[in-house]
Chain A
Amino acid sequence: ETGVTQTPRHLVMGMTNKKSLKCEQHLGHNAMYWYKQSAKKPLELMFVYSLEERVENNSVPSRFSPECPNSSHLFLHLHTLQPEDSALYLCASSQVPKDSGRHYNEQFFGPGTRLTVL
């Protein structure tokens, strides 16, 4: 596998289900991201893990719970979702330098998980 992979690619779940989305990056990066892409809306940044610490949590409802067990894996645990949570969930990764200096953030994206909540 190369790049950023996401599983499953499609998921249909009821509002009372619990499911998890998985992301794996094979690029040796040290930062990972979850985005939500809804129709006719800009990409919404949900969570950021950098150097294995959660550094951003953008007022996401608690029914979304991220987990980053190591720098290569990222999960999004879902429970008691609402129909308006139906969207494409994208994972991305990038390399954040640990030493000093300005840097730009080139993010590499996975193909996404298309989530439908019934």
Chain B
Amino acid sequence: AQSVTQLDSQVPVFEEAPVELRCNYSSSVSVYLFWYVQYPNQGLQLLLKYLSGSTLVESINGFEAEFNKSQTSFHLRKPSVHISDTAEYFCAVSAPGTAGGTSYGKLTFGQGTILTVHP
């Protein structure tokens, strides 16, 4: 089984400041890691994912996350935030699925971190 802990429920920052949203996970098997973002009154959108290879992954809007296996972390960072980044961010882990429909690679989500960017 997997579990995810997002260490901060709310993170307020000023515009153009750097931000880090922390995520730790536990799992007995190797996992895939995801960050999803939820803007007000919308569903979740995939922001970025780590599957294998380079431990640093980037999104198209300037966010990046680094997979640290020894610390079992997948923290999300942005060097300079915008007002439009205000949203709730969810870290998620998934054990690999296998063949067939019964092992679909269940996603386990953290509790979410509300990022509020102030002018």
Please report A residues at the B interface, Cβ cutoff 8 Å: 4, 6, 30-31, 40-43, 45, 48, 50-51, 53, 55-56, 90, 92, 94, 96-112
Contacts and interface: CB of A to CB of B under 8 A. Distances in A.
Given A104-B94, A105-B106, A50 B43 contact: no
B99 to A, nearest CB: 4
Contact of B109 (A43, A101, A111): A43
A111 B102 CA distance: 26
A96 B97 contact: yes
A42 B101 contact: no
Contacts of A107: 46, 107
Interface string B86-113: 0000100010111111101111011110
A111 B71 CA distance: 34
Contacts of B106: 45, 48, 56, 105
Contact of A109 (B45, B101, B112): B45
Given A43-B90, A90-B43, A109-B45, A102 B107 contact: no
Interface string B38-67: 000111111001010000000000000000
B43 A104 contact: no
A104 B99 CA distance: 11
Contacts of A40: 9, 111
A43 B34 CA distance: 14
A55 B104 contact: yes
Given A51-B101, A96-B101, A42 B109 contact: yes
